[in-house]
A and B are shown apart, each in its own frame.
Chain A
Amino acid sequence: MSLPAVELIGVSYGYPDATPALRGVELRIAAGEAVAVVGANGAGKSTLLLHLNGLLLPSAGEVRICGLTVTHKTLAEVRRRVGFVFQDADDQLFMPTVHDDVAFGPLNQGLPANEVQARVQAALEAVDAAHLAGRAPYRLSGGEKRAAAIAGVLAMQPSILVLDEPSSGLDPAGRRRLIDLLRSFKQTRVIATHDLDLALEVCQRVLVMHEGEVLADGTPAELFCDHDLLRRCQLEPPRSAGRAGTFAAMDALDYAELAQTLVASRQNVSPRRLIEPGPDAVQLDRIFAAAAAAPDHGEITPWRFVIVPADERARLGEVVFARALIDRDPNATHDQIDEARRKAQRGPLLMLAIARLGAADRDIPAVERLLSLGCAVQNMQLVAHAMGLGCGLTGGQALASPRMRELFELADGEVPVCWINFGTVVGNRTGRQRPAPGQFVSSL
C-alpha cells in the first residue's frame, strides 16, 4: 500500500498564550487527493496547514509527509515536498520582480541557473502569468499577485500543495481562474477556505474543523447538505449546495425507470412545458405515470439520467452562460456577464445532463459531483476525459464555447456524446450530424 501524502497522528498544538489550536487531530490524505479544510475563524484551519510544512511543529503527536516525520532535521526535505501558498500574497512576494520571486525557491534548492530559468518560465506559464515576469509585485492586482504566489510555489515542483484561503480578496473572474487552475493541478492539494463553493468545485473531500478538531470528514455533497453540521460550525451552505443536494436525492431514484420516463415524455409532454417552468414534482409524477405505459426501452437502461429541477435550472443556466461568455471572451466585462446571466434566465437552456454508467471502476460519485456543479462546461470535459463518460449539454451560447468544441473533439471516436434539448436531439458526436428523432438513445 502506498504511503499517504499527509498523515497526522494525534496532533495537538497550543499557542504561547495557551490557546489550544489543535486537539488530537488524526488525518490521512492520499496522494493526488484534493481536500478542503473548512471551518469558522479560529477553528484551527491555518494552524493545521502551518504544520504541514513545518512552520509550526506539534506540541504533541506527529506529522508525516510522504512517510517522513516533520522534525527540525527533516524541514528542508519537507519544504521541498510541500508548497505553501499564504493567505496574503503580499506576505509571500518579497523580491523586486515576479521573476526573482518565482526563482527564489528553486535557487534555495541549489539548482543551476538554466534549470531555475526553465522552472520559472514553466511555473509562470502554468498560471498564465508569463507576461508578469518583469513586473514589481506591488504593482500587480490581487489576482495577479495570487497567480505569482502560486507560481513561486509551483517552481519548486512540490508533490503537495497547501493553500490558505486562496480565493480571499479575488474578484469573480479572478476566483474563476483560480478554481480552473486548482482543478488542473495533479498534486495533492490541501486547501483551507471559507469559500465552500470553491471547495465543492475543486475538492473530492472536505474536512470540517471546529475548535481545533476535525468534526466531519466526507464528500462535499454529503457534508454541505448537512445543515445542522454547517450551522454548528458557523458555516453557510454553498450557493451550489442545492445542486449537490438535488443529486444526492437522485440516488434514491430508479434511473432505469426515470430514463424510460423521460423517453416516453417526448411524446406526452411538450418540451416547452418541460423547459418553462420546468418539470416540477407534479409534472414528474405525470412523466412517471406516462412511463409506466410506455413500451420497454431495454437498451436505454445503461444510461443514467439526471434531472435538474426548474428552480436550480436558472442558476445552472447562469453558470453555463457566464462560463461560455468568459471562454469566448476572456476580457468580458462584468456587465456583459450579467447580461448573459439575464439572458440565461430567459432562454430555453437544457438542464438535462446525461452520463453513461460504465465499467465498475469508474468513479460514479465523482461524476455526480461534477455534474452537480451546474453542468459547467469544463466539468463535462473533465468527466469525458478522465472517466470515458459521455455527457450532454447544450443551450444557447454554451454551444459556441471553445471548451465545448474541445470536448466534442476529444469525445469523437472515443466517447459518445449527445446534445439533448429536453427530448429533442440537436446534435451528436462532433455536432456535424443531426440524428433523426427517436435515434438519440440507440445511436449512443
Chain B
Amino acid sequence: MTRLATVLNDLRSFDEFAARDTALTRFDPRAKLVATLSFIVVVVSFDRYSVAALLPLALFPVVLAAQAQLPARLLLRMLCLASPFALMIGILNPALDRAPMLALQGVAIGGGWVSFAAILLRFGLTASAALVLVAGTGMQPLCAALARLGAPTVFTMQLLFLYRYLFVLASEADRMSTASRLRGAGPARLGLAGYASLLGHLLLRAIGRAQRIHGAMLARGFDGTISLIDTRRWRSVDTLFVCGWCSFFVCARIVDLPNVIGALLVQATT
C-alpha cells in the first residue's frame, strides 16, 4: 500500500468512527462542540512558557478518545500528519530565544526550547481534541451543530465541502501516485518537473471531479445548503458533560494543578 493510500485509509477509518455507537457519540454534538471549543480557548490562553501547567488538560482528549474507542495509534498517526505545521511554527524559537530559563541536572535550558515544547504540547492537545471531536461526532452532525449554535451557513458549508474534498483530493492523488509508480516513476526518478506536472494534473482532476460532484448535487435539488436529519434533543446528561468539563478547564487554568499535586505528594511523604 502506498503512503497516500495509507493516509486515505486512515482518513476513512477515522471518518467511520463517528457512525459507531459509543459513549461519546451518544452526547449531543453541540455539547461536545462547546466543550471542545472551551478546551481550546483555555489551552491557548496559557502563556508561551507554560508546559507543566498544560499537562492536566491532556485528560480531556484522553477521556474522550477512550469514550470514542478511538485507537491511540490511529490518533497519533493523524497527529503526525498535521505535526509539520506545528514544527515549522516553533522550530526557530530555540535559536531566537537563548536566555536560560531552566536548569536540568545542571544543564541550562533556553527559553526558546521551553516555548517550542509548549507550542508542541498545545498543538498536541488542541489537535487531538479536535480530531477526537470529529471521530466521535462526524463532520456532518458537527456542522449541523455549528449551524444550530448560530454559525453562518456559508462557514458550515465551506467546512463540509473542505472535508469532503479532502477525501476527493487524497483519492485522486493516490490514483495518480499509483499510476506513476506502476510505470516505474518512483519518487527518486520523478524529479521536480515530474512532481510539478503531477501536482498540476492533480489540481485539474480534482477540479473536474469537484464539478461533477457539484453537478450531481444540483441534480438532486441542492440550493446552497445541505439539510440534515437531526432529531437529537438536548438532554440533562449533555448539560452535565459541558458543565463538568468546563469546570475542570477553569480549575486547570486558575490552579496550577501539577504544583498543587506535587506539594501534596511532598507533604504526604514528609
| Cα-based distance from A104 to B139 in the complex (angstroms) | 15
Query: Contacts of B55 on A, CB cut-off 8 Å?
Result: none
**B25 interfacial contact with A, CB 8 Å:** no
Q: Which of A86, A107, A117 contacts B212 (CB 8 A)?
A: A86
Residues in B whose Cβ lies below 8 Å from that of A134:
19
Cβ-defined partner of B226 (8 Å) among A79, A104, A152, A156: A104
**Dominant secondary structure of chain A at its interface with chain B:** helix
Known interface pairs A100-B140, A100-B228, A107-B227. Does A79 touch B19 (Cβ–Cβ under 8 Å)? no
User: Is the pair A136, B140 in contact by a Cβ cutoff of 8 Å?
Assistant: no
B228 x A107 contact (CB < 8 A):
yes
Assess whether B101 is interfacial by the CB under 8 Å rule.
no
- Contact between A92 and B16, CB atoms less than 8 A apart: no
What CA separation (Å) do A86 and B220 show in the bound complex? Answer: 11
Q: Counting CB contacts under 8 A, is B231 at the interface?
A: yes
Q: Is B138 an interface residue (CB 8 A)?
A: yes
Q: What residues of chain B lie closer than 8 Å to A86, measured between beta carbons?
A: 212, 215-216, 219
Is A94 within 8 A of B219, CB to CB? Answer: no
A108-B222 in contact (CB<8A): yes
Chain B CB within 8 A of A13 CB: no
0/1 string, A71-100, CB within 8 A of B gives 1: 000001001100110101001101111001
From A92, A107, A110, give the contact of B229 (CB < 8 A): A107
Q: Does B47 contact A (CB under 8 A)?
A: no
Q: How far is the CA of A105 from the CA of B226 in the complex (A)?
A: 10
* Cα A55 to Cα B213 with chains together (Å): 12
Chain A residues near B223 (CB-CB < 8 A): 76, 108
Residues of chain A with a CB closer than 8 A to B213's CB: 91-92, 94
| A79 and B220 in contact, given A86-B212, A88-B212 (Cβ under 8 angstroms) | yes
Q: How many interface contacts (CB-CB < 8 Å) are there between A and B?
A: 79
Interface residues of B in 126-160 (CB under 8 A from A): 138-140
Residue contact A96 to B217, C-beta cutoff 8 Å: no
Question: Do A53 and B221 touch across chains, with their CB atoms under 8 A apart?
Answer: no
Residues of A within 8 A of B220 (CB): 79, 84, 104-105, 108, 152-153, 156
List residues of chain B with CB within 8 A of the CB of A79: 218-221
CB distance from A131 to the nearest CB of B (A): 15
Check if B201 is an interface residue, CB within 8 A of chain A.
no
Bound-state CA distance A83–B216 (Å) is: 10
A268 within 8 A of B: no
Residue among B212, B220, B221, B223 with most chain A CB within 10 A: B220
* Contact indicator A76/B218 (Cβ below 8 Å): no
Closest to B165 in A: A94
Which residue in B18, B164, B215, B229 is a CB contact (below 8 Å) of A117? B229
Check A316 for interface membership: any CB of B closer than 8 A: no
Residue A182 lies at the interface, judged by CB distance under 8 Å to chain B = no
Interface size for A (C-beta < 8 A) is 34
- In the bound assembly, the distance between CA atoms of A91 and B220 in angstroms comes to 12
A80 CB to nearest chain B CB (Å): 7
| Distance A184 CA – B139 CA, assembled complex (angstroms) | 37
Whether a CB of chain A sits under 8 angstroms from the CB of B12 is: yes
Nearest A residue to B219 via CB reads: A84
Contact call A116/B229, Cβ cutoff below 8 A: yes
Name the residue on A nearest B161 (C-beta): A94
Q: Is the CB of B18 within 8 A of A55?
A: no
B247 CB → nearest A CB, Å: 33
Q: Given A108-B221, A113-B231, are A94 and B140 also a contact pair (CB < 8 Å)?
A: no
A399 to chain B, nearest CB (A): 44
Q: By the criterion of a CB under 8 Å from any partner CB, how many residues of chain B are at the interface? A: 28
**Cα distance, A153 to B217, chains bound together (Å):** 11
Q: Mark B13-36, 1 if CB is under 8 A from A, else 0.
A: 001101100000000000000000
A259 and B100 CA atoms in complex are apart in Å by: 109
Contact pick for B16, options A100, A103, A105, A136, CB 8 Å: A136
Tell me which residues across on chain B come within 8 A of A105, comparing CB atoms.
Answer: 220-221
With a cutoff of 8 Å between Cβ atoms, the chain B residues found around residue A139 in the complex are 12, 16
A38 to chain B, nearest CB (A): 22
Whether A103 pairs with B229 at a CB distance below 8 angstroms is yes
Instruction: Tell me, yes or no, whether A109 is within 8 Å of chain B by CB.
Output: yes
In whole Å, how far is A114's beta carbon from the nearest beta carbon of chain B? Answer: 9
The smallest beta-carbon distance between A225 and chain B, in angstroms, is 35
Rounded to whole Å, the gap between the CB of A135 and the closest CB of chain B is 9
Asked if B85 lies at the interface with its beta carbon under 8 angstroms from chain A, I say no
**A136-B216 in contact (CB<8A):** no
**Complex: how many Å from CA A217 to CA B15?**
48
**Interface-central residue, A84, A96, A97, by most chain B CB under 10 Å:** A96
Set of chain B residues within 8 Å of A50, measured between Cβ atoms = 215
Question: Contacts A100-B228, A108-B222, A152-B220 hold; do A91 and B212 have CB atoms under 8 A apart?
Answer: yes
How far apart are A202's CB and chain B's nearest CB, in angstroms? 21
Q: Does B48 lie at the interface of the complex (its beta carbon under 8 Å from any beta carbon of A)?
A: no
Binding site for B on A (CB under 8 A): 50, 53, 55, 76, 79-80, 83-84, 86, 88, 91-92, 94-97, 100, 103-105, 107-110, 113, 116-117, 134, 136, 138-139, 152-153, 156
5 A-B pairs with least C-beta separation: A108-B221, A107-B227, A105-B220, A91-B212, A84-B219
What are some 28 contacts across the A-B interface (CB < 8 A)?
A53-B219, A55-B215, A55-B218, A80-B221, A84-B220, A86-B219, A91-B212, A91-B215, A91-B216, A92-B213, A96-B19, A96-B140, A97-B19, A100-B140, A103-B229, A105-B220, A105-B221, A107-B226, A108-B221, A108-B222, A113-B229, A117-B229, A136-B12, A136-B16, A138-B171, A152-B220, A153-B220, A156-B220
Chain B interface residues toward A at CB < 8 A: 12, 15-16, 18-19, 138-140, 164, 167, 171, 209, 212-213, 215-223, 226-229, 231
Can you add 12 more A-B contacts, CB < 8 Å, to A134-B19, A139-B12? A79-B218, A86-B219, A91-B209, A91-B213, A91-B216, A96-B15, A96-B18, A96-B138, A100-B229, A107-B229, A108-B220, A113-B231
